[in-house]
């Protein structure tokens, strides 16, 4: 028998509670327990005027942004619609049933104004890190660092050639992203990272790097750099940079130094891939920071033509010389020059030469230096740190660190697939920083919500 048609009837009174309608196991309930916005108003107070109309509650906007980045709602226009309709979102934002959702344009005005002037999003991220430390989720012994490319909001068809002359000052009058680019020309993570001219430069977002690093079609991108603790993969620091290796290595140093200054964390070891295995970076970790580099050494000295590689020559630390497979020495000086030449070149390399009188009658010369009168060996002034990294690579701790380093790659996969941050919506270095800070904050909050146990209810 067919049921009767249901006709909606408006009641005169309703008794409705948001608290009862949000499930106990909802993610936002767990996040609400661990998010700390108590210091937000005091942090923003100097950036508000004491006169005029009351502004939109900044805590409301931050709670809405946390929802957007935790659930992959990238559009602020759509975020406002979702908060208006979703009861759990309204509960988390403290809006109730009658509270008005702010207009989407409010986010843009505050982002380019008070939020960036006060560095609020950075403060919000560091607050979550402190909460992770207080909850015992950060061991502080082993860290890992890595970078991932995020597509920029830039179009190849509207770009200019790298060697093409573009009037940046004229573009800066109307485009905020161009002004931000001009302000970062001297920063190590941006303009000063490399003097190589890219193939294409975006007119709308010149700080974005044209890259083909993913072995597919090239595109404009930024790099998000993560420094994580290896115990529970908590993101200790995050930094935006150009999508090139030099900028990523410089960002790693910035994050390590900032972590030690802000949180007092001094890791015993750092795990990373070979992009961070340059001689200068290994020396900085070992000699300036006292960190064991669990990093593959970036080394191109191995030969593939059948001749002897540098590893076939034994180095004598006491006498500062190499010994070839035939037992002959290679020294830095085989001649006496009228004008003394420096032992170290501008790239930090020392050259060890064999004697021509030793090489000419040698039976091994076809396998050693068939196309030169005598063999020459290059050695970095930071070779001690490289040797230490090679020795560490033979230990069980190194194998463990290499396995744990995959946690940072899993965070990047979560960032792009779950949080939907595979392409930036904001332009310029500041836009990239804002998005990366919010995304890292959301990932730490989700981890806190998962790992921090619910409090036991008190007995009546």
For each successive 10 residues of the chain (460 residues), what is the average pLDDT? 59 71 90 90 84 82 94 92 93 89 88 87 95 93 95 85 74 80 81 80 87 86 95 95 92 94 93 92 93 90 84 87 90 64 76 88 89 88 90 93 94 95 92 95 95 66
The domains of the chain, with CATH numbers, are 18-118 (no CATH), 140-296+393-426 (3.30.420), 310-380 (no CATH)
Separation between Cα atoms, residue 52 and residue 47, nearest integer Å: 13
Which residues are within 8 A (CB) of 408 and not within 5 positions of it... i.e. 6 or more apart?
Answer: 144, 145, 146, 226, 228, 233
Residue 431 has a pLDDT of 92
Q: Which two tokens stand for residue 414?
A: 């979560």
Which residues are within 8 A (CB) of 356 and not within 5 positions of it... i.e. 6 or more apart?
Answer: 373, 374
Residue 289 has a pLDDT of 92
Please report which residue ranges of 264-344 form alpha helices under DSSP H.
279-283
Residue 342 has a pLDDT of 67
Residue 8 has a pLDDT of 58
Residue 333 has a pLDDT of 67
- Over the range 279-288, which residues count as b (16 or more CB within 10 Å of their CB) and which as e? bebbbbbbee
Residue 460 has a pLDDT of 47
Q: Which has the closest alpha carbon to 271: 144, 386, 165, 86?
A: 144
- Over the range 6-39, which residues count as b (16 or more CB within 10 Å of their CB) and which as e? eeeeeeeeeeeeeeeebeeeebbbbbbebbeeee
Distances (CA, A) of 329 to 37, 326, 357, 420: 67, 9, 12, 59
């Amino acid at each position: 028998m067919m049921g009767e048609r249901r006709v909606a009837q408006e009641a005169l009174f309703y008794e409705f509670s948001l608290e009862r309608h949000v499930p106990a196991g909802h993610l936002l309930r767990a996040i609400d327990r661990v998010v700390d916005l108590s210091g937000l108003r005091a942090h923003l107070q100097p950036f508000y005027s004491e006169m005029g109309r009351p502004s939109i509650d900044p805590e409301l906007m931050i709670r809405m942004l946390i929802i957007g980045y935790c659930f992959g709602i990238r559009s602020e226009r759509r975020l406002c619609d979702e908060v208006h309709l979703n009861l759990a979102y309204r509960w988390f934002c403290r809006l109730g049933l009658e509270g008005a959702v702010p207009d989407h344009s409010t986010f843009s005005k505050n982002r380019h104004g008070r939020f960036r002037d006060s560095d609020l999003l950075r403060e919000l991220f560091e607050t979550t890190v402190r909460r992770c430390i207080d909850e015992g989720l950060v061991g502080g012994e082993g860290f890992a660092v890595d970078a991932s490319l995020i597509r920029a909001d830039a179009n190849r068809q509207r770009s200019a050639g790298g060697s093409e002359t573009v009037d940046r000052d004229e573009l800066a009058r109307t485009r905020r992203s161009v002004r931000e680019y001009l302000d970062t020309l001297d920063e190590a993570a941006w303009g000063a990272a490399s003097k190589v001219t890219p193939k294409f430069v975006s007119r709308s977002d010149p700080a974005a790097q044209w890259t083909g690093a993913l072995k597919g079609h090239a595109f404009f991108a930024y790099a998000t750099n993560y420094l994580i603790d290896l115990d529970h993969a908590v993101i200790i620091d995050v930094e935006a940079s150009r999508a090139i290796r030099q900028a990523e290595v410089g960002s790693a140093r910035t994050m390590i130094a900032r972590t030690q200054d802000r949180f007092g964390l001094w890791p015993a070891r750092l795990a990373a891939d070979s992009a961070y295995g340059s001689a200068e970076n290994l020396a900085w970790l070992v000699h300036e920071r006292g960190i064991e580099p669990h990093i593959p050494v970036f080394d191109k000295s191995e030969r593939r033509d059948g001749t002897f590689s540098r590893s076939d020559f034994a180095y004598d630390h006491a006498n500062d010389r190499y010994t070839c497979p035939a037992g002959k020495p290679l020294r830095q000086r085989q001649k006496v020059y009228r004008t003394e030449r420096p032992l170290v070149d501008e790239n930090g390399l020392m050259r060890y030469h064999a004697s021509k009188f030793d090489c000419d009658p040698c039976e091994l010369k076809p396998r050693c230096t068939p196309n030169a009168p005598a063999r020459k060996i290059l050695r970095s002034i930071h070779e001690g740190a490289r040797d230490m990294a090679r020795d560490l690579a033979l230990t069980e701790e190194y194998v463990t660190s290499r396995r744990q380093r995959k946690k940072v790659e899993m965070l990047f996969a979560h960032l792009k697939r779950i949080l939907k941050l595979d392409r930036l919506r904001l332009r310029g270095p500041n836009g990239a920083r804002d998005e990366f800070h919010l995304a890292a904050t959301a990932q730490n909050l989700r981890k806190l919500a998962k790992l921090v146990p619910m409090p036991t209810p008190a007995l009546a």
